[in-house]
Amino acid sequence: MTITLAPPPRRIRAELVVLDDRFRTVAGDEYVECLYDGGRWLEGPAYSSAWRCLVFSDIPNDRLLRWDEVSGQVSVFRQPSGYVNGNTLDREGRLISCSQGDRQVVRTEYDGRRTVLAAHLDGNRLNSPNDVVVKSDGSIWFTDPPYGITSNYEGNAAEQEIDGCHVYRIGTDGTLTVVADDFTRPNGLAFSTDESQLYIVDTPARHIRRFEVDGGKLLGGEVFALCEAGMFDGIRLDHAGRVWAATHEGVHCFDPDGTLIGKLLLPDIVSNLCFGGAKGNRLFITATTTVWSWLLTASGARRP
Ligand code: MG
């Protein structure tokens, strides 16, 4: 039997901007690796420890791709995908996806079937779910801007049925509730390690807001950080509460006190990122047509 391994990935020197000495303790390898270059607009990276792979979206090409950590090969995981954007894994390791084309949040079950978790609010279709996170209690939180219905490029052009672009929570009983209704275009979102806080991007406002989580509700929502390079998209937190954010010039890293402490510059516009790898310290980054990985001394936020 012949096993085909991908050639070693292209590497470039990590171009870092250290704005605060605190960044020196978390920035890792002096190289970043390009794991894939062949998408049109890549998004939604989700790492599976069990399957040692990264699933990510190629939205305009209406497909989900899968990078195999063992072989380095990239293959098509699902096409058409329903113009899936954000992905994450739930507590049981099942893939949760935001389908911009079908205007749904869907779960891929162990047998491959898909279960629609949310599609309507009071009888009206959702706009086009964008990004999603799962809390340790099993509830699912997602954002719903209209990027998938404003044109046919990364979804299906259609009328907006809901007055507004909200942040939602799907309870373990399947109930859909609006948890924030004062966003212009909510986008990336991420819980702090202890889940006491939820950070949410408002893309056109070019900022990240931070909320206190009170059971199934959000309180507060002050501006945590402003974007100084284009607009924010996806975000993730590490184990120490630092916020890693996708921007138009690369990845920005914020201390929990809101200070921008450093940047990783990349040649492409960054859309999203996630932590993965055996020790949770490998940052996977989707950036326009490419997927990059960067080994850090920091590791991703672990759920309590
Ligand atoms: Mg997004």
> Which amino acid is located at 81 in the chain?
S
2 Cα to the center of ligand 1, angstroms: 39
37 Cα to the center of ligand 1, angstroms: 19
101 Cα to the center of ligand 1, angstroms: 14
- Contact assessment for residue 125 and residue 116, using Cβ atoms and an 8 Å cutoff: no
Report the pLDDT value the prediction gives residue 304, as an integer from 0 to 100: 38
What CATH fold (topology level) applies to the domain 2-295? Neuraminidase (2.120.10)
Provide the b/e sequence for 33-62 (b: ≥16 CB within 10 Å).
Answer: bbbbbebebbbbbbbbeeeebbbbbbbebb
> What Å distances lie between residue 69 and 26, 55, 99, 217, 275, CA to CA?
23, 11, 25, 37, 13
Task: Provide φ and ψ at 24, rounded to 5°.
Answer: -65, -25
Q: What is the DSSP pairing of strand 235-237 with strand 217-226?
A: unpaired
Q: What is the 3-state secondary structure (H, E, C) of 85-145?
A: EEEEECCCCCEEEEECCCCEEEEECCCCCEEEEECEECCEECCCCCCEEECCCCCEEEECC
- Contact assessment for residue 100 and residue 85, using Cβ atoms and an 8 Å cutoff: yes
14 Cα to the center of ligand 1, angstroms: 24
Report the pLDDT value the prediction gives residue 213, as an integer from 0 to 100: 98
Residues with CB under 5 A from ligand 1 (ion): 130-131, 187, 233
178 Cα to the center of ligand 1, angstroms: 19
145 Cα to the center of ligand 1, angstroms: 9
56 Cα to the center of ligand 1, angstroms: 12
185 Cα to the center of ligand 1, angstroms: 10
72 Cα to the center of ligand 1, angstroms: 25
pTM of the model: 0.96
Dihedral sign from CA coordinates of 55, 56, 58, 64: positive
> Which amino acid is located at 44 in the chain?
G
233 Cα to the center of ligand 1, angstroms: 5
189 Cα to the center of ligand 1, angstroms: 9
143 Cα to the center of ligand 1, angstroms: 9
188 Cα to the center of ligand 1, angstroms: 5
223 Cα to the center of ligand 1, angstroms: 18
Below-70 pLDDT ranges, the chain: 302-304
256 Cα to the center of ligand 1, angstroms: 22
273 Cα to the center of ligand 1, angstroms: 10
3 Cα to the center of ligand 1, angstroms: 35
From CA 244, how far away is CA 273, in angstroms rounded?
8
From CA 120, how far away is CA 6, in angstroms rounded?
42
